[in-house]
Structure 1
Amino acid sequence: MNIYDIVVVGAGAAGAALAARLSEYPDINVLLIEAGQENPYDIGRSQGAFFLTWGTDKNWAYETISQPFLNGRIIQHPRGRAVGGSTTLNVGAWLRGRPEDYDAWEAAGAKGWNGKTAVDAFLQIEASDRGPSDTRGHDGIVVMNDLTTPTDLSEKILDAYVNAGLGKRGDSNGSDPFVAERFQTLFVDGVRRTIADDFLDESVRARANLTILTGAHVTRVVFEGNKAVGVEIRDVDGVRTIGARREVVLSAGAFNTPQILMLSGVGPREHIEELGLDVIVDLPGVGQNLQDHLYAHVYTLGTADAKGSVAPDLGDAAVQRWLETHNGPASYFPENGVAWASLDGHAVPDFEFLLSYNTTSSSFPQFPDADKRSGVTIGVVLLQPRSRGSVRLASADPFAKPLIDPSYLSEQADVETLVSGLRIAHRMVASSVLASWAETIYPSPDASDEELAAHIRADVGTVFHPVGTARMGSADDANAVVDSELRVRGVEGLRVADASVMPTVIRGHTMAPSVFIGYRAAEIIRRDKAAS
């Protein structure tokens, strides 16, 4: 049996950062395990056509169970199954949230996880092309650029935010939370660099104390008594066990991490026993507290002579052109602007607006030429949802997909808040700046609250930010899964370091805080090793 000091499960945003940082110390022998393969140089590296890879084995291709508050709809949840995790197939947006979001983690019992700690880490992690400042790092590891755009309409949408009196142009990381900007992403000069590309470059991979094992599906954590001593995997060599002298760290994400925990006997006793599995420790919080960002949309259609929307072309010719030249229709992602807004009197945002220079012509069936007209789309993201869901095992089969039930919009307050958000978006599209691109608006600004609520339930989709299913908390919190040192309660030698430990979802996108969690986890583990 191969034995390593530390076994990290999952080479996504958190796991790649964690393994790379741990391997900086020659006295720690690290194994990083990934179920998928290395991320190829394919169309998934493009800004505009990356989602064409969602139908490949690079995607876990998860989906929710039927959602009763979304008219029974099933919501697709693509998750990355490759070195780089979901940073191989996401939008790549580096929107790290507000310091207050991390202060809320500490208030929830995650001691030491606060706004100052997060900002300090981000300034070390980031390599922004915007230059060094008090709010963005310049000499770090993760390289990022602003998204490019082929149309001035992108700028007009940002101007409409200002014109509507909602805020000013600025930096989302700045002291003023109410700004509009073109956000930064992992696409460097138009080509995706994943978090693994940044943290696990050739020099890091050359370290003698770091091993990366791909194509290995972790089926469970192996325990001796209540101590984790390794993991069981299945790969081309069959089923085998890999040992961990010091500890196992799960960085498999908000769906896979609770699945592995429960398959290993760590989780709600009744649920584990009903599937015929042995219980190592009864932890009712495993798989609970699932949170995610949803967004509903306001669509506009311009006058017949309005220009600016850029119709997507993802045919074979466009794909081949991008692969050869990195330009053409597959080069651009239309949702390339972001802005922030709140309900009256709130000091931090309640809504993120994702701004697209394209519209959805199917929303305007009364216009036969709708598909030839320009328009914009405002995606209204509910940043602090109250609805909570769960992840459960479908069976004891480690290859069966988990049962994912976010319980979207199960809290009526979420619907009511989104209605208010659509009203604010209506103010934006009614701005004189967008007059030519908003001759018609759907749903109409004249719609009643009830009509907007019906639109929301039929229209909302996920922003792909699941978190919270193995959350941090204090010792007296019966539903906390890990402590502030990321140690799983009730067992030894097992930690979790990924988005599942977030007590609450941030007011931003979850890639950046996932990197922060992996980055800081390495410091915590190293400190514990030095003290032992």
Structure 2
Amino acid sequence: MESYDYIVVGGGSAGCVVAARLSASGRHRVLLLEAGPDDRRFWIQVPVGYGKSFYDRRVNWMYMTEPVAEFGGRRSYWPRGKVLGGSSSINAMVYIRGQAEDYEDWRSAGNPGWGWDDILPLYRRMESHAWGESVWHGGDGPLHVRAPSTELHPVCQDFLAACEELGLPRNQDFNGASQDGAGTYHITVRDGMRMSAARAYLWPARRRPNLRIVTGAETTRILFEGRRAVGVEYRQGGRDRTARAAAEVILSAGSVNSPKLLLLSGVGPAADLRSLGIDPVADLPGVGGNLQDHLDVGMIYRSTVPTLNDQLHPWWGKLWAGFKYLAARRGPLALSLNQAGGFVRSRPGLSRPNIQVYFCPLSYLKAPPGTRPLMNPDPYSAFNLSVSPCRPTSRGHLRLRSADPGDAPEIRPGYLATDHDIRDTVEGLRFLRRLADTPTMRRLIAAEIDPVPAGDDDDSLLAFARANAVTVYHPVGTCRMGPDAATCVVDPALRVHGIEGLRVADASIFPTLTSGNTNAPSIVTGEKASDLILGRG
């Protein structure tokens, strides 16, 4: 039996941080288990290469939800990273921390140490920002954050001008003093290469003799002695193996796989576990509950001016973009396709933005699983505008289908189940209609591309959302952090309630969604967890 001090399950956005920080002193023996392969692959490292991994089972779990009643029975496709770096290796690289109030909400929910004043120093510690060190940003951390401007497609400036015509201020930094307004997104890219959590944290730590990284290793069960976690079983190359942890096991497998592994190991709703033939170790009803996700709904417009479609659709455009990237690591392949956007208040009287806006100077018709739409834009000038409500109140859950670790769990996201979420979604779409009617956008838009809402009334906009909304790939909350073991899974120190030697450190612990993209909050959760485990938090 292999023996270590700490076992980290999952080499994703948080797990890479935890493994690197725990092994930094050289005093602790650390095992990192990742179900997927190594991340040193060309299309993982090329920023726009996430189009290649969107439907690639080698690096992507490719989950599908159960039919969503609020979508008329449509299923939702959930890509999740199955590779070192996790979803930070296959995402669109947009770097958004969320609003200070998000973290204050976490603290108010009974989680001391998780307020904005506690978390901002960790963001600064983890960053090496293009603008250098400041009150808002770090200058020498492992995670490089780029703030592209002149390299972005020129049509982004039309979007920003249209937002100004609606009265939105320009915001150069959504991670600064305020999130309000429109601007361009900062991204996790350095020198034209994706800056995943693996590249930022694991690559410098790979040669440490006290850190062992095992890929292609799917953890199937946590081992317990009584109510203490003492190790894990994992499967690699068709063989079952066992590893023991003298100190702790840390689950960082993500919002789907961390609760799945707890349930497989007997930690969860006891009655549900017994019905599957699993002996309960701890009756924790909250495991797999509290599931939250951001929804995205928008429209595609033909453009009167060239967009990225004109550069990346023709074969010669792809060839030129590839040559430019290989020669200088510049051009559209070195950037995210989500280049501009903003955060808006959809109605008067709101204390903070409730809607995120995305502007993508490229379009592609949604394709079924198995295709690669991002790598083949539409053959005409067009762009994409969409909105995503920031803090949905709908809640879903996930459950095991069986006691077989190879079975994907049953995922029920519960989208658009509350009046709050319906109102925010409808108001977000109405904002897009107003934006499309600004003088700048009227000059830019040649035509709307089907599907489009049947009208501007609430019922038409809601029907459009139900028929066309998709996930923004931000599932959180399934191992909720909080003091009450009846509803929460981990305490504020990320220790699983009622279990010794076991913590969870990833986006599954979020009590509520942060306002915006969730990769940066996932990485900072790894930083916070490391401090807690090492007695510094």
Shift of residue 222 of structure 1? 0.2
Q: Within 2, Cα distance between the matches of 1:492 and 1:85? A: 26
Q: Secondary structure at the match of 2:74?
A: coil
Partner of 1:310: 309
Match of 2:402 in 1: 395
Q: List aligned pairs for 1:385-424, cutoff 5 A.
A: 385-424=392-431
The residue type paired with residue 511 of structure 1 is: N
Q: Which amino acid aligns with 1:13?
A: S
Greater shift in the superposed pair: 480-489 or 134-143: 134-143
Q: After the TM superposition, which residues 189-204 of structure 1 pair with which residues of structure 2 at under 5 Å, given as runs?
A: 189-202=191-204, 204=205
Q: Which residue in 1 is equivalent to 2:492?
A: 484
Question: Partner amino acid for 1:12?
Answer: G
Whole-angstrom CA distance in 2 between matches of 1:56 and 1:320: 24
State the one-letter code of the partner of 2:295.
Answer: L
Partner deviation per Cα, 1:245-283 (whole Å, 9 max, x = no partner): 111000000000000000000001111111101100100
1:357 counterpart = 2:364: no
Question: Are 1:99 and 1:118, in contact at CA under 8 Å, matched by a contact in 2?
Answer: no
> Could you tell me whether the CA contact under 8 Å between 1:43 and 1:323 is conserved in 2?
no
8 Å CA contact 1:82, 1:88 repeated in 2? yes
- From 432, 440, 448, the equivalent of 1:425 is 432
Q: Does 1:174 align with 2:176?
A: yes
Cα deviation 1:306-359 (Å, max 9, x = unaligned): 334534439685796477444566455432112010132212110000111234
Letter in 1 for 2:490: V
Pair 1:294 & 2:300 matched: no
Structure 1 residues without counterparts, runs of 5 or longer: 363-369
Q: Could you tell me which residue of structure 2 aligns to residue 258 of structure 1?
A: 259
d(CA) in 2 for partners of 1:307, 1:162 = 22
Q: Which residue does 1:6 correspond to in 2?
A: 6
Distance 2:455 2:260 in 1: 46
**How far apart in 2 are the matches of 1:375 and 1:391?**
37
> 1:309/1:39 Cα in 2 relative to 1: closer, same or farther (>3 Å)?
closer
Q: CA deviation at 1:437?
A: 1.4
Whole-Å separation in 2 of the counterparts to 1:214 and 1:361: 35
Tell whether the 8 Å contact from 1:171 to 1:179 is kept in structure 2 after alignment. no
- Kindly state the Cα deviation for residue 211 of structure 1 after the two structures are TM-superposed: 1.3
Taking structure 1 as reference, are residues 29 and 332 closer, same or farther at Cα in structure 2, changes over 3 Å only? closer
* SS of the residue 1:181 aligns to: strand
Q: Is the 8 A contact 1:144 1:184 kept in 2?
A: yes
C-alpha displacement at 1:412, in angstroms? Answer: 3.6
Change (3 A) 1:104 1:246: same
Distance between the aligned counterparts of 1:133 and 1:61, measured in 2?
39
* Cα deviations by residue, 1:504-530 (Å, 9 ceiling, x for unpaired): 01002111111111111111111189x
Report the more deviating stretch, 314-323 or 395-404: 314-323
In the TM superposition, what is the alpha-carbon distance from 1:108 to its structure 2 partner? 1.3
Matching residue within 335, 339, 344 for 1:341: 344
Tell me which residue corresponds to 1:151.
153
Per-residue CA deviations over 1:222-253 (Å, capped at 9, x if unaligned) read 00111100001111271121000111000000
Which residue pairs with 1:365 in the alignment?
Answer: none
Task: Return the offset for 1:147.
Answer: 4.5
Identity of counterpart residues, as a percentage?
36
Instruction: Kindly indicate whether residue 212 of structure 2 is the aligned counterpart of residue 208 of structure 1.
Output: no
Return the letter of the residue paired with 2:306. Answer: K
**Offset, 1:53:** 2.2
Q: Which moved more, 1:142-151 or 1:422-431?
A: 142-151
Distance 1:314 1:527, change over 3 A: farther
Alignment partner, residue 62 of structure 1: 63
Q: Deviation of residue 52 (structure 1)?
A: 1.2
- Once the 2 structures are TM-superposed, how far is the Cα of residue 209 of structure 1 from its aligned partner? 1.8
Which residue identity does 2:208 align to in structure 1? Answer: R
> Structure 1 pair 6/314, CA: closer, same or farther in 2 (3 Å)?
farther
Does the 8 Å contact 1:423/1:445 carry over to 2?
Answer: no
Measured after TM superposition, the shift of residue 446 of structure 1 is 5.3
Q: CA deviation at 1:165?
A: 0.5
AA aligned to 1:451 is: S
Query: Are the equivalent residues in 2 in contact too, given 1:318–1:329 (CA < 8 A)?
Result: no
Partner SS state of residue 461, structure 2: helix
2:47 is paired with a residue whose SS is coil
Bigger Cα displacement from structure 2, 156-165 vs 381-390:
156-165
Counterpart contact for 2:39–2:198, Cα < 8 Å: no
**Whole-Å separation in 2 of the counterparts to 1:152 and 1:38:** 36
Write the letter of the residue equivalent to 2:241: R
Most deviating of 37-46 and 349-358: 37-46
The question of whether the paired residues in 1 share the 8 Å contact of 2:296 and 2:471 is answered with yes
Secondary structure in 2 aligned to 1:21? helix
Tell me the equivalent position of 1:465: 474
RMSD: 2.3
Q: Which amino acid aligns with 2:35?
A: A
- The aligned amino acid for 2:258 is T
Which 10-residue stretch deviates more, 251-260 or 309-318? 309-318
Give the stretch that moved more between structures: 308-317 or 294-303: 308-317
Given the superposition, is the C-alpha separation of residues 93 and 528 from structure 1 closer, same or farther in structure 2, using an over 3 Å criterion?
closer
The reply on whether 1:527 has 2:535 as its aligned counterpart is yes
Residues of 2 paired with 1:292 and 1:191: CA distance? 28
Aligned partner letter, 1:473: G
Alignment match, 2:51: 51
Change (3 A) 1:446 1:129: same
Mean Cα deviation higher: 373-382 or 151-160 = 373-382
CA contact (8 A) 1:222 1:230 kept: yes
2:444 to 417, 437, 443: 437
Q: Secondary structure of the equivalent of 2:174?
A: coil
Residues 53, 321 of structure 1: alpha-carbon distance in 2 compared, 3 angstrom cutoff: farther
Alignment of 1:39-188 (within 5 A): 39-54=39-54, 55-147=56-148, 149=151, 151-188=153-190
SS, match of residue 533 in structure 2 = helix
Give the Cα separation in 2 of the matches to 1:207 and 1:490: 34
> Which whole-Å CA distance do the structure 2 matches of 1:458 and 1:514 have between them?
30
Are the counterparts in 1 of residues 18 and 530 from structure 2 also a CA contact under 8 Å? yes
Distance of aligned partners of 1:361 and 1:63 in 2 relative to their CA distance in 1, 3 Å threshold: closer
Q: Secondary structure at the match of 1:158?
A: helix
1:441 offset after TM fit, Å?
A: 4.5
Q: Summarize the Cα distance change of 1:41–1:322 in structure 2 as closer, same or farther, 3 Å threshold.
A: farther
Shift of 1:407: 1.2
Which consecutive unaligned segments of at least 5 residues does structure 2 have? Answer: 367-376
Deviation track 1:376-428 (CA, whole Å, cap 9, x = no partner) reads 32210111111111111111101111111101112243122111111122222
**Kept in 2: contact 1:313–1:329 (CA 8 A):** no
Cα distance, 1:512–1:357 mapped onto 2, change above 3 Å? same
User: Are the equivalent residues in 1 in contact too, given 2:94–2:338 (CA < 8 A)?
Assistant: no
Query: Cα distance 1:151–1:319, how it changes in 2: closer, same or farther (>3 A)?
Result: closer
Distance 1:159 1:371, change over 3 A: same
Q: Distance in 2 between matches of 1:322 and 1:390?
A: 45
Looking at structure 1, the residues matched to 222 and 208 of structure 2 have their Cα atoms a distance apart, in angstroms, of 26
Q: Which deviates the most, 116-125 or 440-449?
A: 440-449
- Post-superposition CA distance 1:102-144 (Å, at most 9, x none): 1111111222111111111101111111222221212111012
Tell me which amino acid in the other structure corresponds to 2:403.
Answer: A
Query: Which shifted more, 440-449 or 81-90?
Result: 440-449
Q: Secondary structure at the match of 2:113?
A: coil
Q: CA deviation at 1:463?
A: 0.7
Question: Where does residue 373 of structure 2 map in the other structure?
Answer: none
Distance in 2 between residues matched to 1:314 and 1:9, nearest whole Å: 43
CA contact (8 A) 1:277 1:396 kept: yes
Distance 1:266 1:444, change over 3 A: closer
**Aligned equivalents of 2:320, 2:217: Cα separation in 1:** 34
Amino acid at match of 2:463: A
